[in-house]
Each structure stands twice: as C-alpha cells, then as structure tokens.
Amino acid sequence: ETVSADPVMYAHASRVFHLESNPGNARALVQQHGDRDVWLNAPPLPLAMEEMDGVYDLSYARAPHPSYGKAHIPAWEMIRYSVNIMRGCFGGCTFCSITEHEGRIIQSRSEPSILREIELIRDTTKNFAGTITDLGGPTANMYRLACKDKKIEESCRRLSCVYPTICSNLGTDHSKLISLYRKARAIPGIKKILIGSGLRYDLAVRSPEYVKELVTHHVGGLLKIAPEHTEEGTLSKMMKPGIGAYDEFKALFDKYSKEAGKKQYLIPYFIAAHPGSTDEDMLNLALWLKKNNFHLDQVQTFTPTPMAMATTMYHTGKNPLHKVTEDSEEVITAKSGKTRKLHKAFLRYYDPENWPVLREGLKRMGRADLIGNGERHLVPPAGSEQEVAPQRGGERRPPVAPRGEAPKGRVIEVAPRRNARGGERNERRGEPAPFTPPPSKAKAGILSTIKSKPKAGRK
C-alpha cells in the first residue's frame, strides 16, 4: 500500500528489486500486502550449456498452433527461419526488462546443438530457400561471453556489465561466435546466414575480427544497431554508451564494407520522450540526424512497460539507479501528448507533416533561427508543405535519402547548453532543467529491506 501510494517508496522498491537480480548473491524479498506478505524468490541459477541443449533439442513443431488455422501471423514469418543461440543479457538498459525475464548471466547453447537446428530447418521447413534470417538472441553478440572470475561474478552487484564502462572482469573475446558463424555458413544447402538481432556495438569494437566477419558475410545490406540517443543526460538514464562508441563502430563497419566491395548501411534506432530527455536533448538529436543525413522511418516513443527501471522514472520522477530519497535526483519526463508529439517529430524532422509542430516548438524554445531553407536550418518556413506533392495513398513523406556522410562544409548549430559540467564531451552536452515536483504527502517510512550482507556463492 505504501509503495503504490508514495512515488519515493515505489522508486526505492524498484531499486531494491533490481539490485537483487544476481542469482549468485540475491536475497529473497518480502513485502507486506494488506494482511498478507508477498514472498519473492531470488532469481534461479542459470542453465548450464548441457541443460540449454536439452531444452532446445526437444522435438518442436516449428509452426503456429493448429488452432490458428491459416491465419497470417507476422511474428511467425519473422522468426520462421531464425535460430536462438543464447538467453540473457548483461546490458542493463533501463527501458528493457529482458534481464528480469532471462537473467544477466548469458546462457549459451553448444555449437553442435545450434548446427543441428540449422540442418533441421533446411531438411524439414517448407519453402526454405537457404537463408537463415538470424543467429542471435536478446543481443546478437553476447554468445559465450561471461565474467572471467566465477567468484567475482557471484558477488557482483552491478546492474550492467557494460555501463558506464565495460567491466574489466568481462570477457569480450568473440572468437567462439566467429567460429559458430563459419561452421554455420559451411553447412550444405545454406546459402546465407544473416544476423537480425540487435548488435551491442560497444562490445563489437573490442573484436575488430568479429566486425569484419559480420560485415563481410552476415549483413544483408542493412544492419540495425541502437544508439537510442546522442545526449549524455538521456543516455545516463538509459544506461547506454555515448555516441562516440557508435562513431567507432561505424568507422569499422564502413572500412570492412568497402574492403568487401559492398554498399551496406547502418540503421540506428532512437527513442523519443525517454525519461530524462528534454526538448533541447531531442533538438540536438535531430541536428545530429540531419548532420549525418539520416531519414528515420520507423521511430519509437517511450512507452512504460512492466519491470523496467525507466518505467519507474516515468511514474515517480525519481532515478532508481542511485539511492532514492525525498531529496534525491528528479527525472524530468515528457508526459503530455503535446510534448511527446514534439519529441517524436524531432526524430522525423524531414517529414512535412511534422514541420508545423517543429516550428511551434522551435519558436517556444527560442530557436526560430533553425527555421529556413538553408543547410543550417532544421525545417523550412511556413507554407513549404504545399510544395511537397503527396505520394500515392495520400502519404506526404519525402523519399528516404541515402544514408551517408554529411556534405562537406555543412555547419549545424546545436541548441544552447545549460549548466555544463565541463570536459570536452560534457561541454557539448546539456543538463536537464531542474524539475520541481508537486507537493508530496507526509513522508512514509522507508521500505524495510533485509539488512544482512549478501552472501556470495549461493548454491
């Protein structure tokens, strides 16, 4: 009752829950609910490789349930020729709850088990043309990656193995994944192995050989990766690496694509209106997109989902990544339909349907200087929509421009910075405006938690 009524208590409970996510040291949690107590078990120990093989080697039908009849199921079409090689994710992105569902410790299948499934698809799947659409999982390139020291792993309390930096105890050798790719390609009857799962590019750059293998053999022209944002304030709430990691990966991607004689492009994913993202943050992201000549088609506005830490930020205005108190950090969040629409419009700045919203927003932000027809402008002046002829079906979207480098000499002005923290990067990244919460009710007692120290090595 206290947690549901008090945002501070809700955020505190969320923090406690996520800290107890390592099966090596997690403690059971107890929460009073009315005249009863809710007992939450600690996460189960991860499956060993032999146990994973036992699960995936079962005789699955590899088809929708007969009750669906001849219904068209888009999700089924997407995964029909894909192979899951692992479970779990140690990324810890706050808008995602995969860790809470599958665990932070990677559980991988053996090579023989994976290769058997590929052969099974080849031999038994109707209309199979020789292309495996994905060898992946929650993340494309965490296969067989783990902590170098089992004792350290069992006692670790970090929420992410790769944020704010990649842990020195994390093994980042991609050689086992490279070996798997090569053996899968060599199977008779297999013409192409594509990687459809999202790539953790900050890990990939630790293994240039892997990037070369991926780019040379396993990209079907487009590779999706997820920077999610460019601004440090928002990225810190997402627990995502800085945009510099994207630039480093892009350099390798372009290099190896050129060496392979292929024209291939990166498809970056971004989230609008994520907790911690201000109007200025979204403007700077839009300017980055224009500078890099990106015309995004499919974009996402943040939606709170169960168990995700970003959902806690959205609901409470507090940051559960740090100790939560009445006076702890406030997280500004775009909740009104008008603001969320503006944030999404920034991601599709090139779309004439968004220009009126962007003009209004830029004027309100004091950035009317970005309205015009020059290279330095983000959107054209009013009346320009009439010059864009609608396409068939009533759509007015302009064609997607090639995703390449920005023209030489282009100057892009970024939004004015506030409260800079110093440093080469931080001088370029703005801080969110202070958030004043509404008057709160009388402070409730802090949610009681088990005080004993976590014990490493739970068996």
pLDDT digits (tens, 9 = 90+) for 34-72: 999 999 999 999 999 999 999 999 999 999 999 999 999
- What Rg value do the Cα atoms of the chain yield, rounded? 24
Q: Each residue of 268-293: pLDDT tens digit?
A: 999 999 999 999 999 999 999 999 99
User: Mean per-residue pLDDT for 13-39?
Assistant: 96
pLDDT confidence bin for 126, thresholds 50/70/90? confident
Mean pLDDT of the chain: 88
Q: Is residue 401 over pLDDT 80?
A: no
User: Mean per-residue pLDDT for 374-400?
Assistant: 66
pLDDT recorded at residue 368 = 98
Range with lowest mean pLDDT among 17-21, 144-148, 294-298, 330-334: 294-298
User: Mean per-residue pLDDT for 378-394?
Assistant: 67
Q: Is 426 exposed, middle or buried (0-12, 13-18, 19+ CB in 10 A)?
A: middle
Tokens of 52: 């994973």
Q: Is residue 253 over pLDDT 70?
A: yes
pLDDT confidence bin for 224, thresholds 50/70/90? confident
User: In the CATH hierarchy, which fold is given to the domain comprising 46-65+72-272?
Assistant: TIM Barrel (3.20.20)
User: Mean per-residue pLDDT for 341-363?
Assistant: 98
User: Mean per-residue pLDDT for 135-147?
Assistant: 97
Q: Each residue of 150-208: pLDDT tens digit?
A: 999 999 999 999 999 999 999 999 999 999 999 999 999 999 999 999 999 999 999 99
Q: Each residue of 417-452: pLDDT tens digit?
A: 444 333 333 333 333 444 444 444 444 433 434 344
pLDDT confidence bin for 386, thresholds 50/70/90? low
Contact 157, 454 (CB under 8 A): yes
pLDDT recorded at residue 5 = 96
Q: Is residue 399 over pLDDT 80?
A: no
Strands across the sheet containing 265-272: 222-228, 265-272, 300-301
Residue (of 184, 269, 236) closest to 431 by Cα position: 236
